[in-house]
Amino acid sequence: MSWTNEADQDLRARAQQVIPGGMYGHESTRLLPAEFPQFYLRGKGARIWDVDGTRYIDHLCAYGPNLFGYGFEPVEAAAAAQQRLGDTLNGPAEVMVKLAEAFVSQVSHADWAMFCKNGTDANSMALVVARAHKSRKTILCAKGAYHGAAPWNTPRPAGILPEDRAHIAYFQYNDADSLVDVFKAHAGDVAGVFATPFRHEVFYDQYEPDVEYARLARRLCDENDALLIVDDVRAGFRLARDCSWEPLGVRPDLSTWGKCFANGYPISALLGSEKARAAAKEVFVTGSFWFQATPMAAAVETLRHIRETDYLERLQNYGRRLREGLAQQAGMHGFGLRQTGPVVMPQILFEDDADFRIGYGWTVECLKRGVYFHPYHNGFISAAHGDTELNETLDATDRAFEALKAGKAALKPNAALMQLLAHG
């Protein structure tokens, strides 16, 4: 297949003039090899087309939102029907109540729901509700865990004051002693604890928490009158049809959701238990577009498919076979592959690849054969990934390993990435 990214390069050059840095945030390709497309034309099912018209089987799913396939007809139809009636009006439509009811009946710990736009909004809303609950200041987060891009939680320092995080305290993920210590250090003032369902930092292997650690988090919150908050923005509905810590037997007081529950429409949610309702009633949180009815209609339909279909088992089946196939190919071609985390959100890194040059080389070779894998961010599987996509993917990955082994792939570190890893 002949492969070009001329249209993408052209758009990047134009963007450099009118968008700071040409692109910002997690969707910037600044840290990726130049072959990675920055701009896209369209998506359908499990496939995306870049602006040069090249089609890829997509294993990133828009960083999560695509759960049932791009342009999934039932969700598109529900959204279009609501759009025709009205979207942003003087107040919400009936569908807001329907959506809250659907969440409350689906997610075990939830007695109420509030809606906003992005995961960052939902986590910031959780933070203020937790502080309002007992009029306390301190919020506990695991070191390095991503909860969004507001001043209190952004991973990058530019424009952020120490005061923005004056009352955020950190502990080591999955480390019981560290959690106990941070509670002690802030005794009487802990408002809430953010818990990530499993460890899913960029650049690193992923891992699940111990059940005892998750239960300890619950117990410490109870003993200290603090609220436990599960940030399900990334993992939501890919690990369970309920909150991601429900299978561990741990129910939070608050959980935050985003990305996939409207199959790509812009909406996120804060869910809460009865205990947190009074505080949630008091805080002033809002946004001009938070009450849009179209994403809510898309969400109601997406939740119905989450409840009524075997989508999760299909995701798991694809993810498991992909992992097995890649492990076998890597072994055959003599590469050490580290595949970690849940199979539906796979992190794929290479052994002995501190500067990511092998991962970069391999993912570029995959791209050139029509398959998109991210070299350092966990991937996502959708329900539109089936046998055809798996066979095509494994055929392409096999040839990508082969090219790498034959020394045909360009293996060079990315200067911007090296700088970031060295200096944070």
For Cα atoms 24, 26, 120, give the angle at the middle one, nearest 5 degrees: 100
Tokens of 350: 């290479």
Nearer to ligand PLP (CB atom), residue 72 or residue 198: 198
Nearer to ligand PLP (CB atom), residue 78 or residue 233: 233
Counting DSSP H helices and E strands in the chain, the numbers are 12, 13
Element (H, E) at 229: strand 227-231
User: Least distance from C-beta 147 to ligand PLP, angstroms?
Assistant: 5
Nearer to ligand PLP (CB atom), residue 49 or residue 203: 203
User: Least distance from C-beta 375 to ligand PLP, angstroms?
Assistant: 17
User: Binding mask 144-173 vs ligand PLP (x if CB under 6 A, - otherwise)?
Assistant: --xxx-------------------------
Nearer to ligand PLP (CB atom), residue 146 or residue 265: 146
In the range 219-258, which residues lie near ligand PLP by CB under 6 A? 231, 233-234, 258
What is the spatial distance between Cα 145 and Cα 201, in angstroms, rounded to a whole number? 6
In the range 99-128, which residues lie near ligand PLP by CB under 6 A? 118-120, 123
Q: Using CB atoms within 10 Å of the CB of residue 71, give its burial: 0 to 12 exposed, 13 to 18 middle, 19+ buried.
A: middle
Tell whether residue 201 is a contact of ligand PLP (CB under 6 A). no
Number of residues forming the site for ligand PLP (CB under 6 A): 12
- Buried b or exposed e, range 363-391, using 16+ CB within 10 angstroms: bbbbbbbbbbbbbbbbbbbbbbbeeebbe
In the range 323-352, which residues lie near ligand PLP by CB under 6 A? none
User: Least distance from C-beta 197 to ligand PLP, angstroms?
Assistant: 8
What is the spatial distance between Cα 363 and Cα 371, in angstroms, rounded to a whole number? 8
Nearer to ligand PLP (CB atom), residue 5 or residue 255: 255
Residue number of the CB closest to ligand PLP reads 119
Element (H, E) at 82: helix 73-85
What is each CA distance from 248 to 242, 257, 411, in whole angstroms? Answer: 11, 18, 42
User: Which DSSP symbol is given to 378?
Assistant: -
Nearer to ligand PLP (CB atom), residue 182 or residue 233: 233
State which amino acid sits at residue 14: R
Scan for tokens 């992005």, then name that residue.
118
Nearer to ligand PLP (CB atom), residue 43 or residue 119: 119
What is the spatial distance between Cα 368 and Cα 306, in angstroms, rounded to a whole number? 34
User: Least distance from C-beta 108 to ligand PLP, angstroms?
Assistant: 20
Nearer to ligand PLP (CB atom), residue 109 or residue 147: 147
Tokens of 119: 């995961």
User: Least distance from C-beta 400 to ligand PLP, angstroms?
Assistant: 26
The per-residue DSSP string of 11-72 comes to: HHHHHHHHSGGGS-GGG--TTS-TTS-S-EEEEEBTEEEETT--EEEESSGGGTT-SS-BT-
Nearer to ligand PLP (CB atom), residue 147 or residue 385: 147
User: Least distance from C-beta 294 to ligand PLP, angstroms?
Assistant: 18
Element (H, E) at 307: helix 293-308
In the range 358-397, which residues lie near ligand PLP by CB under 6 A? none
Stretch that binds ligand PLP, among 140-148, 170-178, 288-296, 395-403 (CB under 6 A): 140-148
Q: Which residues bind ligand PLP (CB under 6 A)?
A: 63, 118-120, 123, 146-148, 231, 233-234, 258
